[in-house]
Amino acid sequence: MPLSHHRIQIDAVFGDLLAHIVASSPVAATDLGDHRRDAELDDWAPSEADRRLRELAGLRRRVDELAGTDAPDADEAGDLLLLGDSVDAMRFELEGMRSHATDPLHYLGLATGGVYDLIRRVDLPVAPRQAAAASRAGAVVRLLDQARANLTELPEPRRDLALLRLPGAIDLFREVLPGFAVEAAEAGEEAARACEAFGAWLTDATPSPQWRLGEQRWNDALRLALGVRMPADEVWERGQAKLAVLAEQAEALAGAVLGGSSRGLAGPKLVRAGLEVAAADCSQRRTLVSDAAEVLGGVKDFLCAWGEIDLPDPDTLRVEEVPDFMQGSAVAYFVPAPPLEPEAASTYYLSPVPDDWDDERAGSFLREYNVHALRCVGIHEAYPGHYVQLASAQRHPRLLRRTLWNSAFAEGWAVYVERRVIQAGFGGNGNLGDADKLRLISTKMEMRAVANALLDQGLHVHGWDDDQALRLMVDTTYQERSEARGKLVRGKTSAGQLSTYFVGGEEMDDLRCDAEARHGSAFDALAFHRQVLGQGTPPFAVLRRALLGEAS
């Protein structure tokens, strides 16, 4: 069947966007699975931001022109929306967030990630990776020189997180890289010394106390960078209402966990007592990551018996520790296979307990990520969360849908299935008390997702200080202080992303409810999930049009 004029034009704009990404960022090209520039590191000459903005503005105009012509079909309209959102996100990063001028992590991430992404790709021939990694390490001196020239502002939280990660970066270049490629030792040593000099420069520089985005830029981050279309005031109101409902659920579940020993306890005291019992089932310092990998087998067995979501075949998921140079912010995250190499492995990363933490801080971390929490995180990051969703997206027939994605849907799907799997009875095959503990911890994880959104808006829009933020996380949503401290850093060094868990989960629940209402007794959960996962990773407007026929 011949392609429509719209489809040809849309594919042409997407092709030019892909070419722009590859030409602008060798590191991003590697992430996509294009290895033509593996030996190069991004170049941030003073005029680079303006050059990128000009090209992106031209691409945005072409998207708008296509959207303004004769009405495209649903697939074409969805692709145009996803394409426009992706261009907007890249423009906002340059104009709104201005990370190249305000964030040392922007450069440190390019330097370390560009090299590590080559080291970790054990599925590719080793000799070309060794040569490319050495070449990239040799460009770190130039990149960090550019960083010092471009960084006109240094918000204190970003400066401090960069300093926290620098020892891991130095170890990567000085120890890990030569172990991977002996011929890269000299370049690695030069890169390590450049990192040390960069750290000294950051230490001596006067940081800016202004790190909050303010209402307008935070709203822009939510809409432009992340494709969230729920208004900020609705996020706030729904979040407050959701917390009240979850607090009641947590109290009832804590009573079930404690049984007769709950007598005389109520409210937060009851919940804390129940959580303390559940959190006692925890890993040891050295076994946290291996325990997280082990629980995935039970999750997969349950999903196969449940039969509502298809699992990837073959299964290429790996579970690994977060590298030292990436620690200090997110505890767990997922890295999918490159869209141009869908057969490659995907990785679920989890932070170990840092060696330099004392027993009190380590114990707090292990209580937060107890055995029951590891199950919830595994559902979210792996089965049937991010890994299953993105593996399905990589089977989409159009490269555009395999490559471009919407953060709110990606996180929303993971939050939605985490909730559904627990509700379906996962964890109920063994001791009944363990099932109650899992449901209590799952409710706490839901409270965390709501708190993320409130924290995000509270810090950047409402001017919360650290005490207000910690009260929400520790007192209201029962997070361990170690978790809350890390989340506070993450809230100050990012914008909008923390809101995508709650917003996406709400949007996904709304979609499910509307689909059930439309189909009534004929609603089929497996068919619904297949339809959702068959769309790639688009904005919810695209999903609603595809599944419900609504105009996007």
CA distances from 115 to 26, 135, 148, 181 (A): 11, 9, 20, 11
* Tens digits of residue pLDDT in 519-539: 999 999 999 999 999 999 999
346: three-class secondary structure by DSSP: strand
pLDDT of 71 reads 63
The residue-averaged pLDDT of 263-283 equals 94
Asked whether the beta carbons of 288 and 281 are under 8 A apart, the reply is no
The 10 Å CB-count burial string (b at 16+, else e) for 537-546 is bbbbbbbbbb
351: three-class secondary structure by DSSP: coil
**Beta partners for residue 155, in sequence order:** 208
| Amino acid identity at 451 | A
The residue-averaged pLDDT of 3-17 equals 92
Token pair in block for residue 283: 């890993």
* pLDDT above 90 for 148: yes
To the question of pTM greater than 0.85 for the whole model, the response is yes
pLDDT of 5 reads 82
* Tens digits of residue pLDDT in 25-82: 999 999 999 999 999 999 999 999 999 999 999 999 999 999 887 767 889 999 999 9
The residue-averaged pLDDT of 504-515 equals 97
* Tens digits of residue pLDDT in 347-371: 999 999 888 889 999 999 999 999 9
pLDDT of 26 reads 98
* Tens digits of residue pLDDT in 452-490: 999 999 999 999 999 999 999 999 999 999 999 999 999
* Tens digits of residue pLDDT in 368-413: 999 999 999 999 999 999 999 999 999 999 999 999 999 999 999 9
* pLDDT above 80 for 1: no
Token pair in block for residue 247: 């607090």
Asked whether the beta carbons of 306 and 424 are under 8 A apart, the reply is yes
* pLDDT above 90 for 551: no
